[in-house]
Amino acid sequence: MAQTPVERAEAGRSCRHTAPLEAHGEWRPPAEREDPLLILARSNVDRLADLVPIRYGRMLESPLAFLRGSADVMAADLAGTPVAGLTVQLCGDAHLGNFGAFATPERNLVFDANDFDETLPGPFEWDVKRLAASVAVAAGEQGADPSATSRAVRRTVRSYRKWMGRQSELGMLDIWYAQIESADVEAAMAHVPTHELKRDGRRVRRRTSARLLPKLAELTDQGGRIKPHPPLVVPLGGEAHKAEVNEVIATYPDTLPENTRGLLRHHQLADVAHKVVGVGSVGTRCLVALLFGRDTQDPLFLQVKQAQPSALAAYVGPGPHDHQGQRVVEGQRAIQAASDILLGWSSAGGRHYYVRQLRDMKASASLTTLDYKQLVDYSRLCGRALARAHARTGDAIAIAAYLGQDETFDRAITRFAVRYADQVQDDHRRLETATAAGEIDAEPGR
């Protein structure tokens, strides 16, 4: 028999016996903590070896870049921290850079989490701690003093807690339909002039395959060809590569909703290139496929991205899906208020992939251009989005009851985040030292 809301709330509060709220403030690296560079080296298995130095080079840029590229390291660290036993579908890599705007199938802009390479069911605290740590690192890089850094983190966690409380009062359909729309973003980003937000919104709306075509490709007598920009964009010549991508393009529609499968039947593959993206994904097989529909003025860019086991799998188990692309896609569909209509998965060459549209009305904030007040606004918005995501896939009533009405949880996570930011800086210096000593081959500036 299903529990009543009162019983679910009591079950959430009882989890404080397992993990008192104050316990979340703990972070001391264990004496046997594994060298983060060894963890990163293991994660390079099955990556393209010539691109791994670019991964390290991007991680060298700053402690925040290191954090973005080292989900495996933080997963190992989080595995030793207290958890209440309240499970959600984790984003898995919920740092500030993995939230942003994108278009719903109705072409409305919404704000949400937007990266799910590491998604798995797991303890809700792990997403909160990774988000909070990224806020602490980002604020520190802006030059914020310790008090201002703590304040930024605390407001982020408070936003998560308060929005979780609001979600806990809604019916399940209301939670499922809830979206963070453009007007909500404008209200939340109080320290960004409204005209700038509207301008940015117009720019996002123009980020379509048709607009991307002259930037990424050119029309030739042989059809469309993706422009080379080695080593970041490398067209894949030869029939073997095209055959592999053709296999993905031909089979992945089976994983789409039936009403969208026909859309791809009207497109033909024109060219394929390997494109380096992000920080943590550098070295994985990430392909861009150019297709045309009606004619060469009707392009469609798809991103065909290798899906490897989640960095969290060693600590929470592999999850319900054997196919890593399916794991990513099903996690994304569960978490996001609305997902790309062409989001699906497939296999080729013995590897797992997921597929989505490339840059179709998608954008993330440039964290280096935000001032302190804008960073706090943005961080609070991310906290809200994370609460909405967790409420969709977990028990919002139990989580809200566990978090409580006061700021005990906020202060505890803030202590953790500030301490972990110091750890990230130490790990970043370890990478700098190893690079200078020739232990690590890194190519900065790529």
- Please tell me whether residues 295 and 267 are part of one structural domain: yes
Q: pTM, whole model, 2 decimals?
A: 0.96
- Whether residue 267 is contained in a domain is answered as yes
Measured between alpha carbons, how far is residue 136 from residues 132, 150, 153, 182 in Å? 6, 7, 6, 26
Residue 254 phi, psi (nearest 5): -60, -20
Q: Which residue has the higher pLDDT, 418 or 263?
A: 418
- Please tell me whether residues 154 and 272 are part of one structural domain: no
pLDDT class for 239, splitting at 50, 70, 90?
low
pLDDT in tens, 192-201: 999 999 999 9
Give the Cα separation of 206 and 268 in Å (integer).
Answer: 23
What average pLDDT score do residues 212-220 get? 92
- Please tell me whether residues 139 and 243 are part of one structural domain: no
- Whether residue 246 is contained in a domain is answered as yes
At residue 218, does pLDDT exceed 70?
yes
For the chain, what is the largest distance between any 2 Cα atoms, rounded to a whole number of angstroms? 70
Over the chain, what is the mean pLDDT?
A: 94
Residue 86 phi, psi (nearest 5): -100, 110
- Whether residue 136 is contained in a domain is answered as yes
At residue 359, does pLDDT exceed 90?
no
Domain count within the chain? 2
Q: Return the amino acid letter for 384.
A: R
Give the Cα separation of 237 and 81 in Å (integer).
Answer: 48
- Of 406, 395, 409, 386, the residue nearest 11 (C-alpha): 395
Domain stops at, among 304, 331, 357: 357
- Whether residue 323 is contained in a domain is answered as yes
- Please tell me whether residues 117 and 143 are part of one structural domain: yes
What average pLDDT score do residues 26-39 get? 95
pLDDT class for 227, splitting at 50, 70, 90?
very high
What average pLDDT score do residues 198-220 get? 92
Domain stops at, among 309, 337, 357: 357
- Please tell me whether residues 41 and 131 are part of one structural domain: yes
- Whether residue 443 is contained in a domain is answered as no
pLDDT in the model for residue 363? 85
- Please tell me whether residues 154 and 83 are part of one structural domain: yes
pLDDT class for 54, splitting at 50, 70, 90?
very high
pLDDT in the model for residue 238? 61
What average pLDDT score do residues 298-316 get? 96
At residue 240, does pLDDT exceed 70?
no
Asked if residue 424 lies in contact with residue 137, where contact means CB atoms within 8 angstroms, the answer is: yes
What average pLDDT score do residues 438-445 get? 94
pLDDT in the model for residue 48? 93
pLDDT in the model for residue 165? 98
At residue 333, does pLDDT exceed 70?
yes
Please count the CA atoms within 13 angstroms of the CA of 118 that sit on its side-chain side. Answer: 28
pLDDT in tens, 138-153: 999 999 999 999 999 9
pLDDT in tens, 364-415: 888 888 999 999 999 999 999 999 999 999 999 999 999 999 999 999 999 9
- Please tell me whether residues 188 and 129 are part of one structural domain: yes
What average pLDDT score do residues 101-112 get? 92
- Whether residue 299 is contained in a domain is answered as yes
- Please tell me whether residues 53 and 197 are part of one structural domain: yes
- Whether residue 399 is contained in a domain is answered as yes
What average pLDDT score do residues 159-182 get? 96
pLDDT class for 82, splitting at 50, 70, 90?
very high
At residue 349, does pLDDT exceed 90?
no
Q: Which residue has the higher pLDDT, 223 or 384?
A: 384
pLDDT in the model for residue 244? 77
At 398, list the tokens. Answer: 């139990």
User: Residue 248 sits in which domain range?
Assistant: 209-357
- Please tell me whether residues 201 and 241 are part of one structural domain: no
pLDDT in the model for residue 241? 65
What average pLDDT score do residues 245-261 get? 89
Percent of the chain residues past pLDDT 70, beyond the cut: 98
Q: Return the amino acid letter for 376.
A: V
- Please tell me whether residues 336 and 414 are part of one structural domain: no
Domain stops at, among 357, 392, 426: 357
- Please tell me whether residues 161 and 292 are part of one structural domain: no
- Whether residue 442 is contained in a domain is answered as no
Asked if residue 15 lies in contact with residue 402, where contact means CB atoms within 8 angstroms, the answer is: yes
- Please tell me whether residues 284 and 306 are part of one structural domain: yes
At residue 42, does pLDDT exceed 90?
yes
